Amino acid sequence: MLIPLFDPNQDNYSGSLHAPIELVEYGDYQCEYCADLYPVIRAIQDVLGTGMRFIFRHFPFPSIHSHAIEAAIAAEAAGKQHKFWQMHNLILENQKFLTHSSYSWFAEELRLNIHEFEQDRADYNLIRKISDDLENGVKSGVNSTPTLFINRIRYTGFTDFKSLYHTCLYVKGCSNSKI
């Protein structure tokens, strides 16, 4: 079961607050499987539109991925200027080429206030947010990335479009007690 429940004041989400389908991903920006899943989720969002709310929670593995935490901080810092999803997308689309300076380049491309962005990257509260996501992931049984939850139930199926899309539709038609 997913812990905690969706909180629009804490979670990074796209889609409708009242969508009947909620897809939560615990991800690491340097995980190749998260990068492979990224276009699948985008395609499902395109098809389901306001019928799905997508939430991304950080679950970095810095011992394996040297830029995982820095990437998460950059996404959160961009979020302070209302560009979380744009930074999220750029990081995943350029995952194989990440360096320390990549995030500043991305910020420039997104036309962020660079001074604020760099200051925000040093903000302890962003590290705390990432740490909270990680801690909540552990409480939810997450031990690898990507880990998905559909309407609070852990999804363990295939991550291709057809499998994930049909499961979202199935879950939409069921109450959580029937899954």
pLDDT, tens digit, 9 for 90 and up, residues 111-136: 999 999 999 999 999 999 999 999 99
pLDDT digits (tens, 9 = 90+) for 6-19: 999 999 999 999 99
Angle between helices 84-93 and 32-48 (to 10 degrees): 130
In a domain, 115, yes or no: yes
pLDDT of residue 178: 36
Do 85 and 92 contact (CB within 8 A), yes or no? no
In this predicted model, what pLDDT tens digit does every residue of 43-86 receive, in sequence order? Answer: 999 999 999 999 999 999 999 999 999 999 999 999 999 999 99
Judge whether 2 lies within some domain: no
179 within some domain: no
Q: Residue 95 belongs to a domain with what CATH number?
A: 3.40.30.10
Residues 6 or more apart in contact with residue 168 via CB below 8 angstroms: 21, 23, 44, 48, 52, 150
Q: How many domains does the chain divide into?
A: 1
The stretches of 1-145 forming alpha helices (DSSP H) are 32-48, 68-79, 84-93, 102-109, 114-121, 124-139
Q: How much is the pLDDT for 179?
A: 32
CA distance linking residue 60 with residue 178, whole number of Å? 32
Task: Tell me if 5 is assigned to some domain.
Answer: no
According to DSSP, the residues that pair with 55 across neighbouring strands are: 13, 24
* Mean pLDDT confidence for 6-35: 96
Cis peptide leading into residue 4 (ω within 30°): yes
Contact 81, 112 (CB under 8 A): yes
Mean of pLDDT values over 1-5: 91
Q: What is the pLDDT of residue 174?
A: 58
Q: What are the φ and ψ backbone dihedral angles of 80, each rounded to 5 degrees?
A: -65, -20
Q: pLDDT band at residue 172, thresholds of 50, 70 and 90?
A: confident
> Given this model, what pLDDT does residue 177 score?
36
Is the sign of the CA dihedral 117, 123, 127, 133 positive or negative?
negative
Which two structure tokens, joined as six digits, stand for 58? 């950080």
For residue 26, what are the domain limits? 12-174
H-helix or E-strand spanning residue 169: helix 161-172
What pLDDT does 102 receive?
96
| 6 within some domain | no
Percent of residues, the chain, with pLDDT higher than 90: 93
- Asked whether residue 62 is assigned to any structural domain, the reply reads yes
pTM of the model: 0.94
